[in-house]
Amino acid sequence: MIFRQLFDPKSSTYSYLLGDEKTQRAILIDSVLDDSHQTVQTLKQLELSLEIAIDTHTHADHITGMGALRDITGCTTMMGEQAVAQCLSATFKDGGEITLGDIKIEVIYSPGHTDDSYSFYVASEAMLFTGDTLLIGGTGRTDFQNGDAGAQFDSLHERLLTLPDNTLVYPGHDYRGNLVSTIGAEKRHNPRLQIANKKTYTGLMNSLKLASPELMDIAVTANQACGNLSPEPREN
């Protein structure tokens, strides 16, 4: 499998490009609108065609590039069935599989950060793309977009942390320069994962006093339209 981890410095967002070596087709996870040109150039350099663009959830801190990339490449755009976006080519649900050549991605519903949050597991490569559910050394905030700290606790302890300890963890963001971790390392060192009691975890998350993301008012609306900044939602 061809793999690239892309980084947007403005929003500290990671995007992930997974390419099938046989078909030369690719899947992109959590694209950023401002980086669309760079993404297209990377695809050309790797001689890949973009087949599918997927988002882990409706982002509040940056604008997705799904719509722009679909206009450029003709790719399919997908999010979870809980997403309110009406511009998607298709949706996925918990337990589903996204397949492209030899790449097989298990779809894991992992709500808590938002109610439409998903993670993606590539078992053959021991890779887990966690969006904002599990971060390196932390977990995603749960105080907007129907976030639920209790649901996040369950997503972590009943789903993601049950994967093998050597599973590579690729988060949606990192603000300290970390690139990748493992499930085992997060179990041992992530302070929020040391809280074994759901009520205690919920109390901690609900007590955080965090400023709203700078682009939240713009980004959420735009991302519900696949990154379209105009008032009207995109059509399929």
Residue ranges with strand state E in 9-75? 13-20, 25-29, 49-54
3-state secondary structure of 210: coil
Residue 172 domain flag: yes
CATH code for the domain in which residue 163 is found: 3.60.15.10
Residue 229 domain flag: no
pLDDT for residue 234 = 41
Residue 127 domain flag: yes
Residue 93 domain flag: yes
Give me the domain span that covers residue 90: 2-212
pLDDT in tens, the chain (236 residues): 999 999 999 999 999 999 999 999 999 999 999 999 999 999 999 999 999 999 999 999 999 999 999 999 999 999 999 999 989 999 999 999 999 999 999 999 999 999 999 999 999 999 999 999 999 999 999 998 899 999 999 999 999 999 999 999 999 999 999 999 999 999 999 999 999 999 999 999 999 988 888 778 789 999 899 998 764 544 44
Residue 220 domain flag: no
Buried b (16+ CB within 10 A) or exposed e, 75-88: bbbbbbebbebebb
pLDDT for residue 104 = 98
Q: What is the pTM of this model?
A: 0.94
Residue 21 domain flag: yes
3-state secondary structure of 111: coil
What whole-number distance in Å separates Cα of residue 234 and Cα of residue 179? 33
pLDDT for residue 231 = 44
What whole-number distance in Å separates Cα of residue 20 and Cα of residue 23? 6
Residue 202 domain flag: yes
Contact 204, 194 (CB under 8 A): no
CA neighbours within 13 Å on the CB side: how many for 45? 10
Who contacts 207 (Cβ-Cβ below 8 Å, separation ≥6)? none
CA separation (Å) from 139 to 41, 132, 167? 32, 7, 17
Residue 232 domain flag: no
Contact 130, 172 (CB under 8 A): yes
The count of structural domains within the chain is 1
